[in-house]
Amino acid sequence: MTTATDILTAPSLPAAEAAGQAILDADGMIPAREILAIAWEGVVRNKIRSLLTMLGIIIGVAAVIIMIAISAGTEATIAEQIEGLGANLVFIQSSFMRGGPGGGNSVNLVYDDTAVVASVGGVVGTLVDQTTSLSVEAGSTTLTDIQIVGTTPDFPSVREVTIADGRFFNEKDLAQTAKVAVLGAGVAADLFGDADPISQQILIGTTKVTIIGVAAEKGAVGGVDFDAQIYVPITLVFDKFIPSQFARFVGNNVRMIYAQIDEDADMDTVIQQIEYKLAKSKGVTVEELPFTIQTQDDVIETRGAATEAFRNLLAWVAGVSLLVGGIGIMNIMLVSVTERTQEIGIRQSVGATSTDIRLQFLTEAVMLSLVGGLIGVIAGVGGAYIFGATSDMRTVIVPSSILLAFGSAAAVGVFFGFFPANKAAQLDPIEALRHE
C-alpha cells in the first residue's frame, strides 16, 4: 500500500542506479488498452465534431453496402427469372438470332427441331413459346394488354404450372391450330368471377377461342406473373395473333427451344447428344451447327456479366466517397493536432515517446473510421432494406460487402491518420509545452 508519506519521501538513489539501463528502456509499448482508452477520450471529447468527421465514412460505407445490395438484387432477379423457366433446362438458340432467317441454304432453328430435341435420351420435355400482348373480351368484360403465351403441350410440366380445372392443350390441338385457350388463375377470376369458364368463349384480339382449362394460382416468378397470362397453342399465335408481315418473316423459325433434362441424366452428355442429332438432321457437322446450347447457369452467368459493368461503376462511386471521407478525417485530425499541441507537450513532458503520440493519434483516426464504419454499416443495411421495400428495385444485402466496406473504412483510417499522427509525433516538447 502506497501512502502519502511514502510519496513525499525522497526516492532511494541506489535503487534508481540499480535499475541502470532499465531507466532508459523506452522501447516497450504501453499497453494497447491504454492507447485505446486515450484515443477513445479524444474521440468522445468533441462528439459533434467527431460525428461530422465520420460523416464521409458513414456515407461511403453505407453507399458501398447499398450499391452492392442493389446489384446483387438485380442479379438475383435475373437468376430467378432464368430458374423460373423450369428446372434442369438447356436453352437452344440460333447463333444468328439478330441476323434473322436468311436464304434457303442457311441453317435456322425451326419449330420442327423441337421433335429432334425431344427424341434425345434424357430430354424429358421440350418447350417453345412466343408471347404477344392483346386485349381480351368475355361478355361485357374487357381486359387490355394481356400476355398471350403461345406454347407447346409440355409447358405445364416444364414451367411447373398446375392445371386446376379442365385440361391443357395437346399435340393434336397444336397440329390443328385449335382455337383453344387455358387461362391463368387471375385472368379467369377477372373475366368470369365465380362462374365456370370451361367451354366458354372469349375474344382474343378479333379471334374467338374456347376455354379448355384454368391454371392453378402460381404467382409471380422472376417478375413474370403466371396468373395474368393466357396460354394458347403456339401455332395459333403464329396463325392469328402475330402481325402477318412478321409471321411471314419469321416463318416457323423459333427464337429458342427449351429442353428439360432428366435430373439423373448427365447434362453435358445430353447437350452433346442434342448437338449431334440437330447437326445430323440439318446435314451439317457439329462444328458447323450455328446454334448455341446453354444451361441455366450459363445463361445466368452471361446475363450477370452485363450487370457487372454496372456494379463496377457503383463500386467506384462508393470508393470515391470513402476516399473523400478519409480526406475529411485527415483534415480534422490535422486541426486537432494543432489544437491539442499543448496536450501533446504535457504528455511528452511526463514521458510519452514519439511512438506513444503517433499511436494515440493514429488510433484516434482508426477509431473514428471504425465507429463511422459501424454507423455506416447500420445505415447501409437499413438503407438497402428500406430501398428494397419501397422501390421497384430489389436489394439483397451481401454479408461480404459489409466486411469489405468496414475493412476499407479501417484502411482509410490508417492511411489518412498517418500523416496527422506523424505530425503530432514530431512536435518538439519545449515548443509544444509553450503552445497556448
Residue pair 82/402 in contact by the 8 Å Cβ criterion? no
Per-residue binder mask for other proteins (CB under 8 A), 128-167, x = binder: ----------------------------------------
CB 275 within 8 A of CB 293: yes
Residue at grid coordinates 390441338:
173
Single out the residue of 129, 208, 351, 382 in contact with other proteins (rule: CB under 8 A).
351
Residue 355 is a binding residue for other proteins (CB under 8 A): yes
- Shorter beta-carbon distance to other proteins: residue 19 or 386: 19
Q: CB within 8 A of 155, min separation 6: which ones?
A: 127, 129, 149, 161, 168, 231
Q: Would you state the cell numbers that stand for residue 360, as one nine-digit string?
A: 494515440
- Kindly state whether residue 309 participates in binding other proteins, applying the rule CB under 8 A: no
Strands 141-151 vs 229-233: parallel, antiparallel or unpaired: parallel
Taking the least distance from each CB to other proteins, the nearer of 225 and 343 is 343
Of 22, 48, 305, 389, the one binding other proteins (CB under 8 A) is 22
DSSP string, 253-311: B-SEEEEEEPTTS-HHHHHHHHHHHHHHHHTS-TTT--EEEEEHHHHHHHHHHHHHHHH
The reply to whether 6 sits near other proteins by the rule CB under 8 A is yes
Q: Are 291 and 95 in contact (CB under 8 A)?
A: yes
Strands annotated E in 128-169: 130-138, 141-151, 163-166
Q: Between residue 186 and residue 205, which ones bind other proteins under the rule CB under 8 A?
A: none
Considering only 3, 144, 199, 390, the residue that binds other proteins (CB under 8 A) is 3
Closer residue to other proteins in complex, CB, 9/140? 9
Told to check if 354 binds other proteins by CB under 8 A, we report yes
When asked if residue 24 is in the footprint of other proteins (CB under 8 A), the reply is yes
Residue type, 59: I
Rounded Cα distance between 167 and 155, Å, is: 12
Decide whether 1 or 48 has the Cβ nearer to other proteins.
1
When binding is defined by CB under 8 A, the residue of 346, 375, 410, 414 that contacts other proteins is 346
Question: From the list 26, 164, 320, 403, which residue makes contact with other proteins (rule: CB under 8 A)?
Answer: 26
Task: Indicate whether 48 belongs to the interface with other proteins (CB under 8 A).
Answer: no
Min dist CB 346 to other proteins, Å, is 5
d(CA 309, CA 297): 19
Residues forming the site for other proteins (CB under 8 A):
1-11, 13, 16-17, 19, 22-30, 34, 38, 41, 45, 342-343, 345-356, 429-430, 433
